[in-house]
Each structure stands twice: as structure tokens, then as C-alpha cells.
Amino acid sequence: MPYVTDRSRDLFARSLHVLIEGVSSPSRGPANYGAYPLFMERGEGPYIYDADGNRYVDWMMCYGLEPLGHAHPRIVQAVSEAVATGPHFAAATEIEVEVAELIQQMVPSAERVRFANTGTEATMAAIRLARGYTGKPKFIKFEGHYHGWYDDFLVSVHPTEPGRLGHRNDPIKLVESSGLNRQALDDTIVVPWNDLQAVERAIDTYRGQIAAVITEPVMANMGIIPPEPGYLQGLRDLTRDNGILLIFDEVTTNLHVPSGTCQKYYGIKPDISTLGKALGNGLPVAALVGRADIMEALAWGGVLHYGAQNASRIGLYATRAGLQELNRNGGEALHHAERIAQRLTAGLRELFAERGIKAIVQNVGAMLQIFFTEQPAIRDYRDFCANVNQAKFKEFARALFKYGVYLSPSPVLHSIATAAHTDEHVNVTLDAMRQALRDIKQ
């Protein structure tokens, strides 16, 4: 059967009368997908089906929201039960206590838990909490890290020409959006990642004014970039020694490494952490967690964090079912996802070597990304800006669609293995990749 996407094309044309670029979040639109995005209709396990009935092995998995794959029977059952008995009461519930206890077991630093809906809400609250608790205005944010679309974080997120970055000792703050509060970025200090000296310098320059350092423990919005050995521990030591709070933003990494979180994986204890995405198994559930004495500042009259939709039963039923499933047999599902990602990584490296293609693959846990580059490794945002051929990745990811494989065409995102992917899906994917590499110009 020839590969056609006519219905997606027609739906896109129709959507332009009611939506902006056909979507509700711009990375889903033409910026990444070209002429029109594929309209998706159904998901099951590792597969996603578009409006024309094409089936794809899905490695995007809605940006990692579903570590068990699409429409896992236990999640379907849990959500149905919650809907049937009242999806949300906006009142105290037992499920809230139960899921917070499950999170406490998974996240060593989670002495207290506060639920929210999205990663952005959790990181916004984390910074307000850090400022409120310490009484200090500034925070350190790293180049190329994404913490949601809140004004204070919208600086030096997307890759750009290396000539615009400024010197690494004094990075130029690259504003990511129009319409920001004019003072929003005054208290955001931007430094390169994977470089402890850069953090030390910033702490010296702004001594006594810094409330927190916020970091993705693995850079997962610039492909996948692991921390250098000792780097996260170095951040822990520097922040503790200087009375600064350390915030791990695990919104993207949680439930994509064995043991559940990077803090457990790397053995670091941050003061505050944000969780999200995979936590809700497709439903909007996020959380702010951390040291009890800090979290107590969220009590009435302290640091304000509200939300009519927080801790909905429908979301938390999905979270409970997901965590129970992922914890089964000593966390077997997450180890499985890691093994699948490692197999795909190894297969890709072999394929690139075999065909003499200048590309590398970086992998942590269940997450991996391909970089078309001549470098042996990509270690930070500046490296990515200078050395990664982004256009080629987009072309490659789009060329895979007709062979039944779905990756996000965004070069700054990454692929994700889940409990639903098997060795057979890896083999099918590698075959598709072999063909797609033939199709694109080398």
C-alpha cells in the first residue's frame, strides 16, 4: 500500500480556520513537521495510528508521558474507575495521600509533596518557593535547559548561531519570547552547564543574592546530554557550601531511568525537585517535592501556590496505577526500557559506522538522541549550537514516517523507550532507519 497522508493534509487545512498552525503547542506544528503535521488518532502499546490509518512504532511517546505505552489496560481501568466515581472534588482525598506516599518511596528527597498539573506550574512554584524560603531574589539557570514557559525561565533555551552566545564566562541572555514582563529576566543568571567553574564564578559575582540553582539532571531538551562524572555532586557541594538551594527539574527524566529519578540514579539529594510528564501516564499530573522545612513555606499565608485542578482523582488514579505497574518486580519495566534504549543506541551506532555516516548517539536510561555531528560527544548547549546539524536530523526523522517509525523531528528533543517496546520494535526501527538514511542526501 502506498504511504499517503491526505487526511492529515486536509485536517491541517481545516484547522487553520480555528487553530494557530493547526496545533495547541507550536512544537507540534510546521516548525518541526514541515508542510503539515501528522494528525494522530489512536494509540496502543508502542504504536500510534494517524488519521489515514498509517501505523507507526512510536518513540516519541507524547514526549515521554506514557512509560507503559499507549492505552495500557491498567491505566484505562484506573481512569475509568475515577471518572465513574467523580473525576475531581477539589477537596482533600485519600488518593492524594496514597500517591504522595508512593512518590516518597521513589524520590529520596521528597519529604513533602505538593501536586500541580503541568511541569511549568511545578517549576514556577519551585522558584517562588526558593525565593520565598531564602528571601533572596536571583537564581542560576543553565544554557539550553528548559523549565517550562514561565517568563523567568525564557532565556537561552533554543539553539542558535554560536556567534550570538557571547563569551562562556559572561553568556549573553538570549530572550526566547516577546511579551515577557520587562523585569522578568533581571534575576535570572545564565551559565553554561557541565562546568563547575562557571557556577563558582556566578556565585562569587552575585554572593548573597542567589536563592537557587535549577538544573535538569540530564540535559534532555538539547537532545540527551549526560552530566560529566562528578558534576552533579559538585553542584550539590557548591550550593550547600554557599547556602543556595539545589533544584532538580526531573519533569522530563522521571520514570525514564531505572529507580525512577535521576537523583536516585546518580545518588544526589537536591533540596527541591519537580516531577511531571510520565508521572500522570498521559494525564496532567506534576509535583513539587522537597525538604520538609522548605516545603512548609507553602502553608497558608506563606508562599502562594494554588490550583483548582491540582490533584484531580482522575490524574492520581492514573499515577497510582502507573507507579504500581512500574514498581512491580523490583522496577523491571524501567530496566526493560533502559535495555531497549541501549539496544537501539548500539544498533544505530553500528549502522552509522557501517555506512560511514558522521553521527553519534547519546543515551541515558530509556532516553536517547541522535546527533549528526563530526564530534565524538556533545557536552553542552554551546557544543550543540556549534556542532550539530539540526536540519539533517529533521530530514531524517521525517523520512522515517513512511517506513512506519515515529520520532519527534525536533533535534532538541529525544526518543524514549517504554515498557511496551520490544526487541522486535528495535529491529523494525533499525531497518526503517537504514532505508531512511538511503533516502536523505549524505
- CB of 147 or CB of 398, closer to ligand PMP: 147
- CB of 152 or CB of 249, closer to ligand PMP: 249
Report the nearest approach of ligand PMP to the CB of residue 249 (Å). Answer: 5
Q: Which three cell numbers stand for residue 230?
A: 562528578
Residue 238: partners with Cβ closer than 8 Å, 6 or more residues away? 196, 199, 200, 203, 213, 244
> The cell 517550562 sits on which residue?
148
E strands in 51-197: 55-58, 112-116, 138-142, 188-191
- CB of 249 or CB of 338, closer to ligand PMP: 249
Name the residue type at position 343: R
Residue 238 contacts residue 309 (beta carbons within 8 Å)? no
Stretch that binds ligand PMP, among 164-172, 228-236, 245-253, 391-399 (CB under 6 A): 245-253
**Known catalytic membership, residue 394:** no
| Candidates 136, 138, 277, 392; catalytic one | 277
Q: Which three cell numbers stand for residue 327?
A: 514498581
Q: Which of 253, 311, 235, 404 is nearest to 82 (CA)?
A: 311
Total binding residues for ligand PMP by CB under 6 A? 13
Give the one residue of 249, 271, 380, 383 binding ligand PMP; rule: CB under 6 A. 249
Q: Which of 272, 295, 286, 263 is nearest to 107 (CA)?
A: 263
- CB of 216 or CB of 383, closer to ligand PMP: 216
DSSP string for residues in 214-248: EE-SSB-SSS-BPPPTTHHHHHHHHHHHTT-EEEE
Distances from the Cα of 117 to the Cαs of 122, 124, 283, 305, 380, in angstroms?
Answer: 8, 12, 9, 12, 29
Residue 188 near ligand PMP by CB under 6 A: no
**Known catalytic membership, residue 264:** no
Any bridge partners for residue 40, and if so which? Answer: 50
Stretch that binds ligand PMP, among 96-104, 118-126, 317-325, 393-401 (CB under 6 A): 118-126
Give the one residue of 148, 192, 226, 258 binding ligand PMP; rule: CB under 6 A. 148
Residue 369 near ligand PMP by CB under 6 A: no
Any bridge partners for residue 219, and if so which? Answer: 225
Give the one residue of 54, 120, 319, 418 binding ligand PMP; rule: CB under 6 A. 120
**Known catalytic membership, residue 317:** no
Residue 276 near ligand PMP by CB under 6 A: yes
Q: Which of 357, 358, 359 is nearest to 368 (CA)?
A: 359
Give the one residue of 72, 131, 147, 256 binding ligand PMP; rule: CB under 6 A. 147
Residue 411 near ligand PMP by CB under 6 A: no
Stretch that binds ligand PMP, among 51-59, 162-170, 179-187, 244-252 (CB under 6 A): 244-252
Residue 323 contacts residue 99 (beta carbons within 8 Å)? yes
- CB of 225 or CB of 399, closer to ligand PMP: 225
Report the nearest approach of ligand PMP to the CB of residue 118 (Å). Answer: 4
Give the one residue of 8, 32, 54, 123 binding ligand PMP; rule: CB under 6 A. 123
Stretch that binds ligand PMP, among 75-83, 101-109, 143-151, 414-422 (CB under 6 A): 143-151
Stretch that binds ligand PMP, among 6-14, 103-111, 140-148, 204-212 (CB under 6 A): 140-148
Report the nearest approach of ligand PMP to the CB of residue 55 (Å). Answer: 26
- Element (H or E) spanning 341, and its range? helix 313-355
**Phi, psi (degrees; rounded to nearest 5) at 165:** -80, -20
- CB of 278 or CB of 295, closer to ligand PMP: 278
Residue 119 near ligand PMP by CB under 6 A: yes
Distances from the Cα of 347 to the Cαs of 258, 353, 395, in angstroms?
Answer: 21, 10, 20
- CB of 43 or CB of 64, closer to ligand PMP: 64
Site for ligand PMP in 203-232 (CB under 6 A): 216, 221
Stretch that binds ligand PMP, among 37-45, 175-183, 247-255, 434-442 (CB under 6 A): 247-255
Query: Which pairs from 356-359 meet CB under 8 Å and 24+ separation?
Result: 357/437, 357/442
> The cell 523520512 sits on which residue?
399
Residue 277 contacts residue 250 (beta carbons within 8 Å)? no
| Candidates 56, 146, 266, 406; catalytic one | 146
List contacts with ligand PMP (CB under 6 A).
118-120, 123, 146-148, 216, 221, 249, 251-252, 276
Q: What are the residue numbers of the active site? A: 146, 249, 277
